[in-house]
Amino acid sequence: MARQELIAENDALKKENQLLRIKIQILEAKLEAAGLSENKYEDLSLTKAFEAFSFKGRIPYGMKTRSFNCFHRAGYATIGGFKGKTIDDLLNVRNAGIDSCALIVVVLEHYGISVAFPDIRGQAARKVLERIPLLREDCVFLK
């Protein structure tokens, strides 16, 4: 008799598990439709993100490496570390110039993370904005 009770309980738990999975899928679909889903790339390492693209042409030699190094040394280990950052935060990173900031903005955009441009009074922030479209054209994402 105890065996039959355990089997019945096991079957009930399996059905409940299936119902919960369906509810989770429905909630995830609702979150995605509302634009509130989690970014699946937040835990992607900065190294892998920089390995996933190359340039077509007009980009100075070594720019990709310099950009990676300055943000990695500043403690940005994953793409998710940039979440909620502004362009001023990026420009304040040691050795991060206009091209490096524009490049990281393009890479982050590819992975669904946006950088805020709250106040475009600064000349450097305006130059970053001007540089972004050129880098978008030249970046080829491999993955």
* Distance of alpha carbon 49 from alpha carbon 71, whole angstroms: 12
Which residues does 69 contact at the CB level (< 8 Å), separation at least 6? Answer: 95
pLDDT digit string, tens, across residues 97-140: 888 898 899 888 888 888 887 766 678 888 888 888 888 887 77
**R_g of the chain computed on alpha carbons:** 22
In the beta sheet, which residues pair with residue 139?
55
- The 10 Å Cβ neighbour count of residue 85 is 19
* Distance of alpha carbon 105 from alpha carbon 39, whole angstroms: 16
Collapse the DSSP code of 60 into the 3-class scheme (helix H, G, I; strand E, B; otherwise coil) and give the result.
coil
Q: Write down the residue that tokens 């998710």 correspond to.
A: 80
**Global pTM?**
0.67
pLDDT digit string, tens, across residues 27-53: 777 766 666 556 677 778 888 887 777
